[in-house]
Chains A and B, each alone.
Chain A
Amino acid sequence: MFSWMKGRRSKETLKDRLELVLAYDRAKIPPGKVEALRNDLLEVVRRYFPAGNSSVEVEQDGDKVVLMASVAIDDPQPKKK
């Protein structure tokens, strides 16, 4: 709690939150639903790439809201020693 007091300035947090909120508002989608979709996507990705480090981000692209998934595939064929 109150981690913002040290380090990050609060307006940066505000800017991030506002960008996200406005993206959802413009797209007329409830943010919680996207959050749920994002968790589902990550779970599915993890099932197939257990070691991979992946993320799903919501971004505003002009007048479109874009859901971007980045899936890192670590060592698809591990070398045998």
Chain B
Amino acid sequence: MDAKVIVVTSGKGGVGKTTTTANIGAALAKLGEKVVVIDVDVGLRNLDVVMGLESRVVFDLVDVLEGKCRMSQALIRDKRVENLYLLPASQTRDKDALDPEVFKEVVRGLVQDEGFDRVLIDSPAGIESGFRTAAAPAKGALVVVNPEVSSVRDADRIIGLLEAQQVGEIRLVINRLRPKMVASGNMLSESDMLDILGVKPIGIVPEDEGIIVSTNVGEPAVLGKTKAGEAFMATARRLRGEDVPYPKFEEDKGFWAALKRMFGGGA
């Protein structure tokens, strides 16, 4: 995905959109890019907490848009990873404080004046105006989806809207996949999702308790050694065009697997 400006969206809330933004942002910075992650969830910000930068928020995106501060005052530099920055959302304003055209200008400034290689925009969930604003400057989209009915259904809706807005390349990040359940044929696999949604996955992240711990302490999982952290790292590499093989989380359709399933081996 060549896009410099990428929106991270989902139809349904709670699928791991913010975690995905934080981790892919941190991963890209670790790989040498100058990255800014922007929280556009005005009124309900969370990216700052997930990244462990909450105590350093003074100004936010709305302050920048309203000219209350300079961009450099609102950008929070992550001290753990070089070249990783956060532009937080406002916690106190309402969603209409953001105008898509003005937001586009701000993002253009981040790329042209501040020299960012990559801008990741954490969109609010759903299809309301906040989503449109978040997607307005984007040239690529990551749709975060869990392998379950409501998430896939809502993702389909979002993909339709992204296509209508002509954001460019759209890819899936399948989050909270349970390899054992996929193997036993009880959870949608990546190829099932591709069949249903017609959008290619770029990342497959297994369900992992390590993610909860890393979110608890506000340290992106890609900075440590967890399965999910490694999967996010691999996703970031693919985003940069590296040819990283996908882990094999597919249904085992062989004879022995079928026999095993028949005798209750599948979880």
Q: In the complex, are the beta carbons of B58 and A36 less than 8 A apart?
A: yes
Q: In the complex, which residues of chain B have a beta carbon less than 8 angstroms from the beta carbon of A30?
A: 57-60
Tell me the residues in window 53-71 of chain B with beta carbons closer than 8 Å to chain A beta carbons: 54-60
**B216 interface residue (CB < 8 Å to A):** yes
**A31 interface residue (CB < 8 Å to B):** yes
Q: In the complex, are the beta carbons of B80 and A1 less than 8 A apart?
A: yes
Known A-B contacts A31-B56, A31-B57; the reply to A1 vs B223 at CB < 8 A is yes
Q: In the complex, which residues of chain A have a beta carbon less than 8 angstroms from the beta carbon of B54?
A: 17, 20-21, 24, 31
**A28 interface residue (CB < 8 Å to B):** yes
Q: In the complex, which residues of chain B have a beta carbon less than 8 angstroms from the beta carbon of A14?
A: 215-217
Contact residues on B (Cβ < 8 Å of other chain), bracket: 20 to 34
The count of A-to-B residue pairs whose CB atoms sit within 8 angstroms is 51
Main secondary structure of the interface of A (DSSP, over half): helix
B49, closest chain A residue (CB): A21
**A2 interface residue (CB < 8 Å to B):** yes
**A13 interface residue (CB < 8 Å to B):** yes
Known A-B contacts A1-B80, A1-B223, A17-B49; the reply to A32 vs B57 at CB < 8 A is yes
Q: In the complex, are the beta carbons of A2 and B58 less than 8 A apart?
A: no
**B92 interface residue (CB < 8 Å to A):** yes
**B219 interface residue (CB < 8 Å to A):** yes
**A59 interface residue (CB < 8 Å to B):** no
Nearest chain B CB to A12 CB, angstrom units: 9
Known A-B contacts A4-B213, A10-B216; the reply to A20 vs B55 at CB < 8 A is yes
Nearest chain A CB to B259 CB, angstrom units: 41
**B224 interface residue (CB < 8 Å to A):** yes
A28 CA / B90 CA spacing, docked (Å): 10
B223, closest chain A residue (CB): A1
Nearest chain A CB to B30 CB, angstrom units: 13
Q: In the complex, which residues of chain B have a beta carbon less than 8 angstroms from the beta carbon of A80?
A: none
Chain B contact residues, CB within 8 Å of chain A: 49, 52, 54-60, 80, 91-92, 212-213, 215-219, 223-224
Q: When A and B form their complex, which 4 residue pairs have the shortest distance between CB atoms, in order from nearest? A: A32-B58, A10-B216, A14-B216, A10-B213
Chain A contact residues, CB within 8 Å of chain B: 1-2, 4, 10-11, 13-14, 17, 20-21, 24-25, 28, 30-33, 35-36
